[in-house]
A and B are shown apart, each in its own frame.
Chain A
Amino acid sequence: MISRKQLHKEQAASVIIAMIYVELFSHLTQKYESSVIEEKLKTMGANIAKSYFAIYKPSKSSISGIIKEIAINLAGMKRNKLKKTEDGFTITTLDCPLCQPNIETEGPHFCTPVMVILETFLNLSFSTRQFPYKQVIGTVVKSISSGDKICEYHYRLIAK
């Protein structure tokens, strides 16, 4: 059987997971309240990132380098922009692997797991390397599947 390490080196169309996720999201909205769904989606993103980090660690040493590396190499978010803010930074993208331009959802932001994957990768990097920050806290500001033109995630950096 192929190893997970090898899977990191291979790519497949993101639509494979997006199509199942959109249906799951719809099931979740029928069963749970928004706040519960949001927590479940955050856990989903964190679990993915923790398992991924155990197999692959970003090679870049700066925060922007790590974010770009994960966003582009893992999640295929090729068209992205990083911008510094007073308390951290934001990343915007047109290539969210979960959001679909023709599908609009209600409730929590659809691409919460993507935001959390980037957040968790950074937090795990902070705990294993020398950084002046102890934590990063992410939020989804805009999401294509919520009717926005881009996906935008804001990350607040907390100094040590």
Chain B
Amino acid sequence: MPEIKKKKVGFREKLLAALGKRWMYWKARKVTKLLINLSYREIMRLLVELYGNLESALNAVFELSLHAGPEFLNEWVEGANVIFSKDVSDHALYIKSGYYSFTGDHISYIKYFPPEKVGDPHRVVWRLDKCFVCAGMLDDPTFSVKKEALDNQGWGNPIAGIFQATTKMINEYIGLEFISKVRETKCFLRGDPYGEFVAEFYPKAGTKSA
């Protein structure tokens, strides 16, 4: 594993990210997003059967995505290491590149927020104008997703799980002493005008950043 020395990503890394994400998307084995959308609906149907209700099933799918991460995302992390730096704020670039690498979609809004006070996490917030997992679910005749049944969960939980796994792997790869947590804070199925995700980075106890 090469040592990451770069303090902050610069023009070169941004250019590499722009090219690399397109190359990764191009070479990926792809299926239609509709096939993913309907397959995910069926996975959720089985999870509801296994766990008894939608909220527990959404919790489970988050955990499943998180658990699957290291096996499936390692190739991406290894390939993207040329854009990594020691600065936690650069996770915004990795998230943007990662999302495009797998979906071919650009994230139109993504922003890094530094901690406002001691103990606050570093945060990266991004929004999705179109969400390929939510599409069609509001009027799906075979699967009812009621706003109330979602409780505080989002239908995009697997996206949050995948990004929590990825950011954790990147932190470990770079040697960044942060614990990452990713959650969906806004969801089309809860009536929000866009999907929104927040990645929080908490310094590990006993480290310089803490």
Contact = CB atoms under 8 A, between A and B. Distances in A.
A7 B31 contact: no
Interface in B43-77: 43, 45-47, 50, 60-61, 64-65, 67-69, 71-73
B135 A17 contact: no
B31 A14 contact: yes
A13 B29 contact: yes
B104 A1 contact: no
Interface residues of A, number: 44
A7 B37 contact: yes
Contacts of A7: 32-34, 37, 132, 135-136
A8 B35 CA distance: 8
A58 interface: no
A29 to B, nearest CB: 12
Nearest to A2: B130
A77 to B, nearest CB: 9
A38 to B, nearest CB: 13
A4 B135 contact: yes
Interface residues on B, range: 35 or more
Contacts of B46: 24, 28, 40, 44
Contact of B69 (A2, A10, A19): A19
* Chain A interface main SS type: helix
A132 B42 CA distance: 32
B158 A20 contact: yes
A15 B135 contact: no
Given A11-B33, A27-B50, A95-B29, 15 more contacts: A3-B135, A7-B33, A12-B102, A12-B132, A17-B31, A18-B72, A20-B68, A23-B68, A40-B46, A47-B38, A47-B41, A47-B142, A51-B38, A51-B41, A76-B29
6 contacts: A1-B130, A11-B104, A19-B69, A19-B72, A19-B73, A47-B42
Interface of A: 1-4, 6-24, 27-28, 31, 40, 44, 47-48, 51-52, 55-56, 73-76, 95, 97, 100, 102-103, 113
List 5 A-B pairs, minimum CB-CB distance, nearest first: A23-B64, A2-B130, A19-B68, A13-B28, A7-B34
